[in-house]
Amino acid sequence: MTQLVEGGRPIARFRLLGFPVHIDISFVIIIAVLGWYPGVTVRAFVVWLVMVPIAVLTHELGHAFVARSTGAEPSIALAGLGGLTTYVPPRPLSRARSFAISVAGPAVGLVIGAALIAYGRTAGVPDGLATTIVNTAIFTTLGWSLLNLLPVLPLDGGQALRELLPGAPATREARAAMVSVVVAAIGAVVAYRYGLVFGALMAAFFVFSNVMTVRAAREQRQLDVNARAVRMLWSGRVEDARALVADPTDERMHPLVRAAVRAASDEPAERAAGTGELQVGLAGRDAAGAASLLLAVHRVHHDWDSARSLVASAAPVDAGAVLGIVTAAHQAGARLASARIGQAWLDRGGPGTPPAPQVPATIAYNTACGWAAVGELDRGVAAFRAAADLGFADLTMVDSDEDLAPLRPRPGYDEARSTIRRRALAAADEAPGG
């Protein structure tokens, strides 16, 4: 499925303990570079290549198991410099639950590393291959977990710190980034003085990324408050949105946006009142805005049936909002709901206003992925052909996306792929230097 952010080239996909796992080629390349240095033996290098993925995967499983207890369907990716566990909880998480998810990964590494040290001291480890394996395992579990607990974003320690700081989530994020800049800067100096060049570079990168986070937070505060609130709703940050609209005298805040924030509440009366105001807005001059806000509210509550009904109605829904709700449903594991929402948009012929380029095609593509995931292969091929007709042009995604695997043998798939291929080749020829 095409996500809102794309990238990477998977070299392995499988399920482990119920979690989908994706290993990217960038992860393999980087751990190989990190493990190869002058004088390293072939044995030590091979042990490194085997143990690092196991250690990182074990770490991410710690996050994934705790995240699954929230009702989410986590997935794990090993890419770049490490691992990432992604999940969409069915409802906003408490600080305590978010903190537990953040520290679960390092906790697993600490326990395993400590157990290995205890075993080595009590039973002893024979010299040779066994020593290499145990030492590497201790370093990649205990050692990396201790580093990961440093209060620096995006490390787990930084994420845990964010949940412990006062303020609304956006405020905590900015404050954690400020702390991260200071700690990472100190770490860069210490690493450099001890000749750890790679560690110093990594710390410097963390300084840069957190400076950008602080800068982005300041730029966000300069944006229109309505746009900020809507972004927060779409990202599930209801508490941030509620803090933003807390002042009832702020005349900058659009009434429909206030209504959407109320509708996103877990309190039944507030939710009903806000939803009612948005429903009234659907009959007004800003019907398109009310429809998009309702879709954002449905995304917060994972109310996929209501989202489908709205998309299928005569309301002037925005294609970007439809793509957002289709993607959110898919990421939350509601594959059938994702397909039905996308299909409702396709069946109605799209929005009344011209959408951004590639948005309609991406809706159709993601709809095809959703139908394929639930075994509706004929409908999946039809949606895939619609994606080709609407201008989908990412041939690399088409050929690497395992969501489409059930559709590839079906009649009509190759024809649609050929259309996408011709478009991709034409775009490459038109590109500078093509």
Confidence at 226, pLDDT banded by 50, 70, 90: confident
Distance between CA atoms of residues 314 and 155, nearest Å: 46
Query: What pLDDT shows up at residue 356?
Result: 57
Give the pLDDT confidence of 119-155 residue by residue, as tens digits. 888 877 677 788 888 889 999 999 999 999 999 999 9
Gyration radius (Cα) of the chain, Å: 24
255 preceded by a cis bond (ω within 30 of 0): no
Give the pLDDT confidence of 331-374 residue by residue, as tens digits. 888 899 999 999 999 998 755 444 556 788 999 999 999 999 99
Task: For residue 12, list its beta bridge partners.
Answer: 23
**Number of Cβ atoms within 10 Å of the Cβ of 345:** 24
Domain ranges of the chain: 1-149, 154-222
pTM over 0.85: no
Residue 343 · residue 379 · CB < 8 Å: yes
Distance between CA atoms of residues 317 and 287, nearest Å: 8
Per-residue pLDDT averaged across 301-318, rounded?
91
Per-residue pLDDT averaged across 205-216, rounded?
91
What type of residue is 162?
Answer: R
Residue 200 · residue 192 · CB < 8 Å: yes
Distance between CA atoms of residues 207 and 106, nearest Å: 22
- Spatial CA neighbour of 70 closest among 339, 336, 333: 333
- Spatial CA neighbour of 258 closest among 281, 284, 288: 281
Give the pLDDT confidence of 266-293 residue by residue, as tens digits. 889 989 999 999 999 988 888 889 999 9
